[in-house]
Structure 1
């Protein structure tokens, strides 16, 4: 027996745990964070009519889920009539997948959209894509993981893969800093007026606003990019000051103005896995154990103002970040997705010694 539920958050949260089991690399966002994202608190949505979410139970057990939502800013900027799906997690059950995908299609079609594209959790600047390779590799925080059967379930329902992407991992213990920026050049750049703005709990709000300005300028011409408002950015980064390690993020100024930023956080997935992504009384104990042993970090954003690209600002902040990560005891650093068409970023990533981790694609379907 199959039952489709709409806006039933309890089954939506539980579905991937039942669909995938404890032995897979899947890690859920914190339950409270996920609930906050899927609410009218999220400034991405003007009201509740712009999103919904579905889950499916088979014999009373939740085994699949999906969101259906609109990104009005993206459609307006790129002149599209596109709906989005996200958080598509499903057991290897074709019937359940069809029920979920048809529910999303019908909802999006009812909003007048002509195309359905995903995964977006919930925008292109957050987690994006369906995994198509690297299934045995552990994801970092802010990376999607899905099992090998998801692409086949989508294709069986008329979705086609496109826009290939790759996430990366760099070993700092076996592959420490390649000579990206010699010390002599570093000193010359600092003498010219480049400096590092302090990233601390006291300055985090100011540094995040620096990062937002850099994000909006540096990603302006990237496909699917939509400028991020201050409200959206700070909603997503709400708890950043509590989880950040101020030693490993870098904001570069030139004569007092922000020109580049690399925002990195410790990889929280080992902690989330231990607590089941739920607030528990044992959280302080688990957090202290995690904090004492953490050795993985993830870069969630990296960018340089266009007028400073090619002027060594990026090598300056990356070499500084790498040096400080090693000193702080981090052995591995992950990065979020880079599109195949972004050849400059791919070359830069490979030059830094990173290796491919996961392969992803968007999947889309024309709605007729």
Structure 2
């Protein structure tokens, strides 16, 4: 049957684009459906502040009228401006196990990016490194945690078969919460020394002043990651939108803010792993799925430590460990049994070494790929 690839324009095509994941993973015990409304926003099928300054074009591969693959081409103008390179991104890739389908999809995405004078391509990002990203390459034997990706084991072959090559790996580390109560003596010394030196005030997020707390976190987040590979700051509108979606899912006991001399210098966010409930409600928040998420909180025993951020001038003084230490008794009191630290960049040697010294186990690996074109690349004019 002839294969065709078409840009997603109509409502019907949007539904086909989203439905394809349900079709491809039917019967897979470890696949967790996306929250449908969130997915619509991430694809720009419904408004999302990320697309106030960025662009996306989705493509659907069909054989005999039946969807067999999909991909999105993404222009992240924040990346172009920050790194002075005309690099595009791909995301939301799904495909049957046929190289022809993957090739046709990537050809279409690259052609669209080329129309915008972009030849370099990186991905998968859904739609950016501040959202779900990376292709699972190791750890297919269990469900991902909340807001982490999952894909078929044959996807790396399809992506590499097209010509993409590894640029950076991301890791997920697992730890038993009770195991973290007894720190490696060297790490315990670092925590005690940081407390002695800075006399930090530690507290959970204040839900009553949620908007102010999120603004505070945005400031720390954007400043703390300035030297991190691939980082592009989130806008205030993006943070507000993400915070609104997570507000009722956030458990204050699983968060910590560190203040030194009245100034917030670090924050850690832990999110309950809602994926077992999301799987049961099939990604539908309405009419009753959202209530099931809220009612099911207490049954969840795993937390994803999604972000530990410390201002640059305090990063090598152990404040990150101090932030995490405060969580442990509250987490155990809540009923937490497991924690996943994700994701951690391969190039973040300090965080990786700290987790490994604390006996955390690397359980999943994800990969970001770059495409190197054979034609000359035009440099961004400075």
1:289–1:56: structure 2 CA closer, same or farther, 3 Å change rule? farther
1:276–1:184: structure 2 CA closer, same or farther, 3 Å change rule? closer
The aligned residue for residue 49 of structure 2 is 43
CA deviation after TM superposition for structure 1 residue 24, in Å: 4.0
Is 1:55 the counterpart of 2:56? The answer is no
Partners in 2 of 1:77 and 1:230 — Cα distance? 17
What TM-score results when the alignment is normalised by the length of structure 2?
Answer: 0.88
1:185–1:47: structure 2 CA closer, same or farther, 3 Å change rule? closer
CA contact (8 A) 1:63 1:90 kept: yes
Partners in 1 of 2:80 and 2:209 — Cα distance? 35
CA contact (8 A) 1:19 1:64 kept: no
> RMSD of aligned C-alpha atoms?
2.5
Counterpart selection for 2:296 from 290, 301, 313: 290
CA contact (8 A) 1:248 1:264 kept: yes
Q: Secondary structure at the match of 1:29?
A: coil
CA contact (8 A) 1:195 1:254 kept: yes
1:110–1:125: structure 2 CA closer, same or farther, 3 Å change rule? same
Partners in 2 of 1:157 and 1:94 — Cα distance? 8
Question: What CA deviation, in whole Å up to 9, does each residue of 1:147-198 have, x standing for no partner?
Answer: 210011112212222212212221225x242326759966983895411244
Partners in 1 of 2:291 and 2:238 — Cα distance? 32
**Structure 1: runs of 5+ lacking an equivalent:** none
CA deviation after TM superposition for structure 1 residue 21, in Å: 2.0
**Worse overlay, 150-159 or 20-29:** 20-29
Alignment coverage as a number of residue pairs: 366
CA deviation after TM superposition for structure 1 residue 322, in Å: 2.0
CA contact (8 A) 1:142 1:300 kept: no
Partners in 2 of 1:322 and 1:22 — Cα distance? 36
The correspondence of residues 1-368 of structure 1 with structure 2, limited to 5 A, is 1=1, 2-7=3-8, 8-39=13-44, 41-46=47-52, 50-173=55-178, 175-179=179-183, 189=195, 192-283=198-289, 286-287=292-293, 290-367=296-373, 368=375
Q: Secondary structure at the match of 1:136?
A: coil
**Worse overlay, 228-237 or 54-63:** 54-63
**Structure 2: runs of 5+ lacking an equivalent:** 376-382
CA contact (8 A) 1:214 1:259 kept: yes
Q: Secondary structure at the match of 1:238?
A: helix
Q: Secondary structure at the match of 2:244?
A: coil
Question: What CA deviation, in whole Å up to 9, does each residue of 1:108-129 have, x standing for no partner?
Answer: 1111101111001111222222
What TM-score results when the alignment is normalised by the length of structure 1?
Answer: 0.91
CA deviation after TM superposition for structure 1 residue 288, in Å: 5.5
CA deviation after TM superposition for structure 1 residue 328, in Å: 0.7
CA contact (8 A) 2:306 2:343 kept: no
Q: Secondary structure at the match of 1:247?
A: helix
CA deviation after TM superposition for structure 1 residue 64, in Å: 2.3
CA contact (8 A) 1:19 1:91 kept: yes
Partners in 1 of 2:211 and 2:165 — Cα distance? 41
**Worse overlay, 283-292 or 177-186:** 177-186
CA contact (8 A) 1:207 1:251 kept: no
